[in-house]
Structure 1
Amino acid sequence: MLLAIDVGNTNVVFALFDGREMRARWRIATDPRRTGDEYAVWLMQLLAIRKVDPKEVERVIIATVVPRALHNLEILCRHYFDVEPLIAGQGSAEYGIEIDVDQPRSLGADRAINAIAAHEKYPGDLIVIDFGTATTFDVVDFNGTYKGGIIAPGINLSLDALVGNTAKLPRIAIRAPESRSVIGRNTEDQMLIGVFWGYVATMEGLIARMRAEIGRPAKVIATGGLAVLFDEATDIFDAVDADLTLEGLAILAERAALK
C-alpha cells in the first residue's frame, strides 16, 4: 500500500491507498517541531484501528509547502516503515508536466499536484480552485500545461484579519448565511455577509476574468475543505473534488514506480 502525506500550512493529511483506492485518511495540525516519533505514536494507533499492519505500507510519497516539516516526516518513514519516501517534485517523483510561468521552481507542490490530478481526471482547459490557508486559482490547459494562476487570502485569514484589527467585532464561525439577503440586521450577520458573500463575489469575478483571458471554455474544479460550503452558494463549479491533491500524489507515485 501507499501512504500519501500532504503537508499544508494548516494541516498535514495522511492518506492510505491500495492502488488508486483510498482506504483511509487522517489529519493533524501542522507543526514543524513535531518529531518523527510523535508522528509515529499518533499514526500507528490510527493504523491499528483500521487493522492495517505498518509492514503493508510499502511506499510513501510526501508533498510539502512547509520545508521545515520534511525532515521529521522522512524520519517517520525510515524508522517506522523502513521506506525511503518519494518527495513530490524531486527525483523519480518529478512532476512531469510543463510549468509555463516565469519561475517554475517557485510553484508550490500542492498546486503542481492538483494540476496533474485535474488534467488526468477532467478533459479540456481547467481552472482549479483550492481552498486552503490561502485560496489558489490555477489554470491548466488542455495539454496539461500549468499556465499560472492567482493566490488570494483564504477566507479564515480574511476573517482573522478583520477580527484581529478591530476592537469590538466578535469572532464568528464561517458558515453559509441563513438568508441570501446581503443587508445584515446585526453585527454578526453583517460580518458573515461581508466575509461569505464577499468571498463568493470575489471567486465569481476572478473566474469570469480568467475564463475571458483563457479564451476557450474552461471547467472549474474546486477542492479543499471549504469547497462544499461554497458549492451551495454559487453555480461556478463544474466539479467539487475534495481529494484532488491526495489523488494527485497517488498518480505521481504510480508514475514514479514505472520509471
Structure 2
Amino acid sequence: MSVSKSTNSKPYILVVDAGNTSIKWSVFLGDDIVWRGRDKDIDTQCFDIKSVYFASVRGREANQILLDSIQDRYKKAVCTLLDVRSHACNVINAYDEPYRLGIDRWLGVLYAYHRYQSNVVIIDAGTAVKIDVIDKNGKHLGGYIAPGGRLMEQALTSNTGRIRFSEDDMEDIDGLPKNTGQAVRLGCREMMFGFVERVLRDYPNSVFLFTGGDGEYLMKQLDVDGFFDPDIVLKGAKLLGDERVIM
C-alpha cells in the first residue's frame, strides 16, 4: 500500500523488526497493518509516524545506527525499544535467563497467547524451524530450534565433498528418490516433517499456529488442522509496545 501524503490526524505506529539480514517494516493504524515493506521500501513512504516500536536481534552498534536513521526520519516520533523479560502481556517466560530467548520468538509467543487464550504450539518455519509451546494459563513452556530443510541440505552438501547435484535432478519426483539430488532434498525435508509431527503429537489439545516463509507449505504438507499467520512477530511487537507505552 502506498501513501502519497501524510495524515496528521491519524496515530500511525511504525513497527521495526530488524533481523540479521533484512529489516521488516510495518505501519499500524489501530490494530491493523496498513503498510509493510523490507529494507529500503521505507524510503518511499510518507506516513506521519507518532510512535516507533523497535525490535532487533542485531548488535548494539548496528542497532544504534538504525535507530539514528529512524529518529532522523521521524523527528517527532517516540521510540520504544522492545526487549525480552520474565513476563509481559499476561505471559510468563520459560527461560531462567529471559534475555536469552530471541526477541522474535518472544513476540510470537505474546501474540499467540493474546490471540487464542489457549494451549498454543507455534511453528515458525524459515531458515530454521522454531517451535514454542504456551499453555492455556499463559505460561511459556519452552521450545526447540532446528535447521530447516534447506539449511540441512546445505550442511550436508558442504561437508560431504562427493555430494553434488543440480536443480534438474529435482524433476520428475515420483515415489522414492531416484538420484542424489532428490535423496538429499527429500531426505532433509522428511527429517523436518518428522520433527514437527513429533512435537505436534506431544501437544494434541492445542492450537497449531504456523508462520514463517515455509509455514503455510509445512502446514499443508503435514495436513495439519491449524492456522497460518505470517505477521505474528509484527503483531506481537505492536502488542508489547502498546503495553510498554501504557506502563
The TM-score with structure 1 as length reference comes to: 0.79
Kindly provide the amino acid, as one letter, of the partner of residue 86 in structure 1: T
1:208 match: 201
Instruction: Determine the C-alpha separation between the residues in 1 that align with 2:32 and 2:177.
Output: 45
Q: 1:58 aligns with which of 39, 50, 57?
A: 50
Kindly provide the amino acid, as one letter, of the partner of residue 198 in structure 2: G
Kindly provide the amino acid, as one letter, of the partner of residue 143 in structure 1: N
1:114 match: 108
2:43 match: 44
2:185 match: 192
Instruction: Determine the C-alpha separation between the residues in 2 that align with 1:154 and 1:113.
Output: 21
CA contact (8 A) 1:77 1:84 kept: no
TM-aligned CA deviation for residue 63 of structure 1: 1.1
TM-aligned CA deviation for residue 179 of structure 1: 5.2
Instruction: Determine the C-alpha separation between the residues in 2 that align with 1:78 and 1:150.
Output: 36
Instruction: Determine the C-alpha separation between the residues in 1 that align with 2:166 and 2:20.
Output: 22
Give the secondary-structure state (helix, strand or coil) at the position aligned to 2:235: helix
**Long gaps (5+) in structure 2:** 1-11
TM-align CA RMSD: 2.5
TM-aligned CA deviation for residue 15 of structure 1: 1.0
Q: 1:6 aligns with which of 6, 17, 27?
A: 17
Q: 1:145 aligns with which of 118, 139, 144?
A: 139
Distance 1:204 1:145, change over 3 A: same
**Equivalent pairs: percent with the same residue?**
25
Q: Deviations over 1:118-146 (max 9, x none)?
A: 01111311111112332211111112221
2:232 match: 244
2:156 match: 162
Instruction: Determine the C-alpha separation between the residues in 2 that align with 1:219 and 1:4.
Output: 26
Instruction: Determine the C-alpha separation between the residues in 2 that align with 1:107 and 1:131.
Output: 17
Give the secondary-structure state (helix, strand or coil) at the position aligned to 1:61: strand
The TM-score with structure 2 as length reference comes to: 0.83
2:67 match: 74
Give the total of aligned pairs.
230
Distance 1:171 1:57, change over 3 A: farther
Distance 1:227 1:178, change over 3 A: farther
1:21 match: 32
